[in-house]
Amino acid sequence: MKLSIAEKLRRFYDLFSGEDRVLIVINADPDAIASAMAIKRLLWRKTAGVTISNINIIQRPDNIAMIELLGVTLTHVDAVKEGQFNRFIIVDSQPDHHPAFARFSPYHVVIDHHPVTDVKAAFSDIRPCYGATASILTEYLRAARIKPSSKLATGLYHAIKNDTSNFERPSLVEDIRAFQFLHHHANIQLARKIEHAEIRPEYLKYFATALQSKRIHGGRIYAHLGSVKNPDVCVLVADFFMRVHSMTWSIVSSLCSQKLVIVFRNDGLRKDAGKLAKKAFGSFGSAGGHKGMARAEIPLANLEGVLDQKADGRVLNWVIARIERKKS
């Protein structure tokens, strides 16, 4: 039986009391940050406190700008002490999306828009057809008759724009309705500042590496960045390469924190980046995503005897070979 949003909101609220200390765990990106902000607002004055905790290191310019301009307070997961919280929420992800999430399992609440995995939670609302988790949380706010503040509305507005790529990626009319609602409450100038956040000078070297290492196969452009401090730079480069004329796929890899990270982007026309990522790399590590964007993360230990990780050219050759073989 399909539940109404009012019933979902009631079941969500039934899990919390005024004494609860709530931890929202996210892999911080615009959709996750904005959705966590919305949950914090939903629980305002209904619990003893809500903390948002990120499992990743945040270095992407738009994420940093969003956090600073919207005044979002995040606590890195490494700073969370055992026993501080008794209620756990995961938003815009699912528990098996990253090993760091396992620390707080089982979760009381999971709200997400990625393909459904094996989720065990007292309450879950997972809608893979939605373009953004922010759209789902906007429905919760409206059901709760909460008028979002300018900063909250701006965060949700930017998240929907970002995750749907201005509605170029698959989305639903529900995403459009949420976006229209938020447009009336958001600070559009602030959203534009977040969207056009400047690239840090230290990132330029990765663009140079990408341009030098790039390989083009048909409409697919590949690049390997070597060792990076944060794999989010792969996203910046992959998005940049999608602007190159006649490119329909962009696949960018790097080595970070003892992992090979591979980021996928495509034009969304009869393609499925999530399926390709899983087919090509799922047997080595975690891989998946949406039709237009996906990611694979492979522990380097899983590649011993398979790949010379110190030779960037060989890493790129291996990535290309795996994808071209699975694509055909």
Instruction: Give yes or no for residue 291 having a pLDDT over 90.
Output: no
3-state secondary structure of 297: strand
Of 113, 43, 34, 94, the C-alpha closest to 69 is 34
- The CATH number of the structural domain formed by 5-195 is 3.90.1640.10
- Reported as type and span, the H/E element at residue 37 is helix 30-42
Contact predicate 50/40, CB 8 Å:
yes
Residue holding tokens 């459009």?
Answer: 176
Distances (CA, A) of 87 to 16, 20, 52, 102, 165: 8, 7, 12, 14, 33
* Whole-angstrom distance, CA of residue 326 vs CA of residue 155: 37
Element of type H or E holding 7: helix 5-13
pLDDT in tens, 27-40: 999 999 999 999 99
pTM of the model: 0.73
Mean pLDDT of the chain: 92
Domain spans of the chain, in order of start: 5-195, 203-327
The edge-to-edge listing of strands for the beta sheet with 49-54 is 75-76, 49-54, 21-26, 87-91, 107-112, 121-126
- The neighbouring-strand residues paired with 217 are 220
**Class for domain 203-327, per CATH?**
alpha beta
Regarding beta strands 215-217 and 249-256, do their DSSP bridges make them parallel or antiparallel, or are they unpaired?
unpaired
Selection from 243, 285, 240, 245 nearest residue 262 by Cα: 285
What's the one-letter identity of residue 35?
A: S
Mean pLDDT, residues 70-87 taken together? 95
The residues, any chain, with a CB within 8 Å of residue 52's CB and separated by 6 or more, are 24, 26, 33, 36, 37, 40, 72, 73, 74, 75
Q: What is the pLDDT of residue 328?
A: 55
Strand 49-54 to 21-26 pairing: parallel
Q: What are the beta bridge partners of residue 50?
A: 22
pLDDT 10s digits, 208-221: 999 999 999 989 99
- Other Cβ atoms less than 10 A from the Cβ of 259: the count is 19
Give the side-chain half-sphere CA count within 13 A for 294. 28
Please write the tens of the pLDDT for every residue from 128-181: 999 999 999 999 999 999 999 999 999 999 999 988 878 877 788 999 999 999
d(CA 176, CA 173): 5
Q: Quick check: 312 pLDDT over 90?
A: no
15 CB-near residues (< 8 Å, 6+ apart): 87, 108, 109, 122, 123
Tokens of 26: 């996210």
Q: What residue type is 66 in one-letter code?
A: M
> Shortest CA distance to 242 belongs to which of 259, 257, 221?
221
Within 8 A by CB and 6+ apart from 238, the residues are 250, 251, 252, 263, 264, 265
Q: What is the pLDDT of residue 169?
A: 75
